[in-house]
């Protein structure tokens, strides 16, 4: 069912109200998107594709989110939203070329007391991949590509359009809803953590009953996701001539032996989330092929299949530490920046297929008591890859899905 139909039916809106919601807003940016002859296209298709294109075309690798944040502030202000920038410190404590900030937005009066928050992230992983769309007329099968086209600018665009449609039709009370688009989700969640701290300290006067988080779930409602553990490992030996390996102590060999055992060990499993897995994301060690390496470094990420959310990751950490100690207790330095056990979400909403996902989200970074929904367009299997893509149908289905979730959450 089209969003306008849902909104008008729920609000018992007049024909004039329904027609008004389709009128373009003065000053809204009109971007160049292909035409279509698809009679089944929803009335919001042009706005949805234009917004998605602008978001994807604007480079925003983690730490450099300023420009896309500024675009969103202007875009939302043009549509009658009150907007607020929440400054976030430079990523990795290094000076940033431009300031970075979370974007908060709402369309409400003096009685603004939001109970439902819609949130996703505006940063992406490297490298930047330009926006592209299939040639020819747009249909539901038309493919869109580019960095962030799935993760998670598709969720951002669909959330904005979904809320716009409901607000313009008078189907929801703007006083009860707010948008939050955060920086830094891909690198530890500093944007959401900053927002969470501000809410906890009452610097932001909000208490939400529900939060709808946008991530690629194939437009299925996620019942939860694996936890994570993110660590740096250093192995130290001492160097020497490679012809006499018994006279040195190879840091690379220590690291290889340790991780061979880590990968073969059951670090924790559960029926819902499967096995805890470890990814050796970076491995650096040694200076030359004929020199025994004195030092090796690994950057790793574990996907944690056990709970509880607060301590599941640290149970996994202790199991890994025991392996390092067994290989060579004096040789390893094991430092983990952050972690959490598996994360449960509410998936008991009529009309949705459900899914469990293996990736992490900003959900555990918001330390507040609320009902959590995880939903969004696109497939995680193409996110972070060279061919990140989704279809027009994926985006449009997400608009309808977010509307259903908004209406459901408001009733709870």
Residues annotated catalytic, as ranges: 185
Structure tokens at 146: 């580019």
Task: Please return the burial class of 82, using the count of CB atoms within 10 Å of its CB with bins 0-12, 13-18 and 19+.
Answer: middle
Task: Please return the burial class of 69, using the count of CB atoms within 10 Å of its CB with bins 0-12, 13-18 and 19+.
Answer: buried
Instruction: Give, in order, the Cα–Cα distances in Å from 113 to each of 85, 108, 228.
Output: 18, 9, 33
Q: Which of 228, 14, 49 is nearest to 139 (CA)?
A: 49
For residue 127, cis peptide bond before it (omega within 30 degrees of 0): yes
Q: How close are the terminal C-alpha atoms of the chain, in Å? A: 23
**What is the DSSP track for 43-55?**
TTHHHHHHHHHHH
Structure tokens at 316: 């996994």
Q: E strands along 193-319, which residues? A: 210-214, 221-225, 227-236, 240-241, 269-270, 274-275, 277-285, 291-292, 295-304
DSSP 124: B
Angle at 272 between CA 411 and CA 352, to 5 degrees: 35
CA 46: distance to chain centroid? 25
The Cα 257–Cα 298 span in angstroms is 13
């Amino acid at each position: 069912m089209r969003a306008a139909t849902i909104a008008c039916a729920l609000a018992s809106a007049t024909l004039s109200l329904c027609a008004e919601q389709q009128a373009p807003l003065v000053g809204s940016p009109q971007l160049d998107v292909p035409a279509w002859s698809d009679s089944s296209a929803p009335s919001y298709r042009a706005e949805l594709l234009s917004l998605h294109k602008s978001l994807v075309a604007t480079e925003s690798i983690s730490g450099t989110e300023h420009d896309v944040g500024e675009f969103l502030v202007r875009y939302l202000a043009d549509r009658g939203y009150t907007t607020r920038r929440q400054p976030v410190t430079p990523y990795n404590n290094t000076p940033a070329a431009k300031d970075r900030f979370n974007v908060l937005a709402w369309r409400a009066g003096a009685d603004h007391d939001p109970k439902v928050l819609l949130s996703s992230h505006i940063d992406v992983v490297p490298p930047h991949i330009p926006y592209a769309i299939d040639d020819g007329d747009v249909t539901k099968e038309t493919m869109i590509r580019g960095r962030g086209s799935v993760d998670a600018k598709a969720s951002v665009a669909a959330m904005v359009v979904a809320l716009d449609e409901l607000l313009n039709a008078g189907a929801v009370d703007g006083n009860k809803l707010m948008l939050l688009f955060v920086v830094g989700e891909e690198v530890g969640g500093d944007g959401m953590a900053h927002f969470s701290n501000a809410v906890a300290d009452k610097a932001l006067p909000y208490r939400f009953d529900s939060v709808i988080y946008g991530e690629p779930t194939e437009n299925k409602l996620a019942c939860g996701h694996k936890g994570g553990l993110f660590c740096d490992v250093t192995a130290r030996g001492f160097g020497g001539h490679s012809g006499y390996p018994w006279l040195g102590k190879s840091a690379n060999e220590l690291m290889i032996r340790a991780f061979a055992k880590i990968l073969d060990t059951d670090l924790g499993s559960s029926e819902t989330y499967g096995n805890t897995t470890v990814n050796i994301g970076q491995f650096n060690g040694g200076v030359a092929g004929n020199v025994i390496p004195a030092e090796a470094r690994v950057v790793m990420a574990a996907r944690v299949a056990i709970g509880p959310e607060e301590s599941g990751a640290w149970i996994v950490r202790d199991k890994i530490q025991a392996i390092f100690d067994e290989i060579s207790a004096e040789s390893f330095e094991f430092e983990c920046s952050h972690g959490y056990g598996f994360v449960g979400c509410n998936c008991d909403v009529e009309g949705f297929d459900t899914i469990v996902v293996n990736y992490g989200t900003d959900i555990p970074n918001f330390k507040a008591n609320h009902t959590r929904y995880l939903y969004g367009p696109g497939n995680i299997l193409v996110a972070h890859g060279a061919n990140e893509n989704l279809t027009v149908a994926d985006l449009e289905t997400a608009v309808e899905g977010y509307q259903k979730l908004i209406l459901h959450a408001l009733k709870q």
